[in-house]
Amino acid sequence: MTLEVPSSRFSSFTLVFNTEKLTASRVIVGGDTLVLCPSPSSLENNMETSELLKRVRKVEIKTRGLSNQIFSGQYHSAFKGRGMAFSEVREYQMGDDVRTIDWNVTARAGDPYVKVFEEERELTVMLVVDVSGSGDFGSKVMMKRQLMTEICAVLSFSAIQNNDKVGIIFFSDRVEKFIPPKKGKSHILRIIRELIDFTPEHKGTDLSEALRYLTNVVKKRSITFLLTDFMDKGYSDALKLANKKHDLVAIRVYDQLEQEIPNVGLLPITDAETGELVWVDTSNKQTRIKLKANSLRFEAELKDLLLKSGVDMAEVRTDGSYIKPLMNLFKRRGAR
């Protein structure tokens, strides 16, 4: 949720309204970055093992089905392998390209034979996932972090169906955890489990640090999905450098209340890190107008940066389906 406040000191907030603590998110106001985060009580991750396994299984069933039915073929077309490798020779059939005829085999056999080539796959897929405090916000259907978990699972199952390796980097204002790329269903389930149960040590966001880590640590060129709300500044150089080494794809996850706040009267906003408190009058029309303008400017600047950096992007809202945005992304890349 974006709010106008009189100071740039505030970086992490808990929103309190009608005596209930609501999760909130991060915003850009007047060039300053504000982070509205939930209270610690809403972030308890000490679930029992059985409950965790149930949640992992639930995510697996939903996302694996989507991957099998919808995404696998589109993913294969959108993210092509390194090239074509020779597989075998077979007899010429009507319609075969004459340029593929193997003249040596044809001469020995007395009948025309052609070379058959197969695409070299075994790509490396990296998921770079924002686990900062702003991810624990969602005003309707699900939290941003829950949505990122499902998207990561769909991408992971699509990858292993195409014989690709998958790895993941969790980041806040520093790299929280790195799981190297591997193949196999058990590895994907481990990634899903971490996505559901991982508790970051920090709440801030540093996209530059995450992208530098990716560039330095992942030596082999990879298809990298960057899942974040992009509520940070000063990461353009790291973004461009990472995209030179890897095939970087941005997936922006956001909530409708980050674009426009309703008139709900006077709100107390507490800094979750320092305990400082400010009051914001959301009934002030100028405050709401400025909020909307800031949101539109932020989105325009982000799209311009990604376009200039050569990074594809899909945008997914917490109360919407991620199927159509991902399908459109895959189709755009597959058409190249």
**Per-residue confidence of the chain (336 residues) as pLDDT tens digits?**
334 333 333 333 334 333 333 444 444 333 444 444 444 444 444 546 677 677 777 777 777 776 766 555 566 555 655 555 556 788 988 888 888 888 998 998 899 998 876 655 578 999 999 999 888 888 888 899 999 999 999 899 888 888 889 999 999 999 999 999 999 989 999 999 999 999 999 988 999 999 999 999 999 999 999 999 999 999 999 999 999 999 999 999 999 888 887 888 887 765 443 456 878 788 999 988 888 898 999 999 999 999 999 999 999 999 999 989 988 888 888 776
pTM for the model: 0.72
The three-class DSSP label of residue 233 is coil
Q: CA 218 → CA 93, 167, 186, 211, 300, distances in Å? A: 44, 10, 21, 10, 30
Q: How many helices (H) and strands (E) does the chain have?
A: 9, 14
Q: How far is residue 113's CA from residue 242's CA, in Å, rounded to a whole number?
A: 44
The tokens for 138 are 């969602």
Q: How far is residue 111's CA from residue 230's CA, in Å, rounded to a whole number?
A: 61
Total residue length of the chain: 336
Q: How far is residue 305's CA from residue 272's CA, in Å, rounded to a whole number?
A: 30
User: What is the set of domains in the chain, with CATH numbers?
Assistant: 45-77+121-260+284-334 (3.40.50.410), 83-120 (no CATH)
Q: How far is residue 267's CA from residue 22's CA, in Å, rounded to a whole number?
A: 11
Question: What residue type is 220 in one-letter code?
Answer: K
The tokens for 331 are 């189709």
Q: How far is residue 145's CA from residue 167's CA, in Å, rounded to a whole number?
A: 18
The tokens for 188 are 């994907």
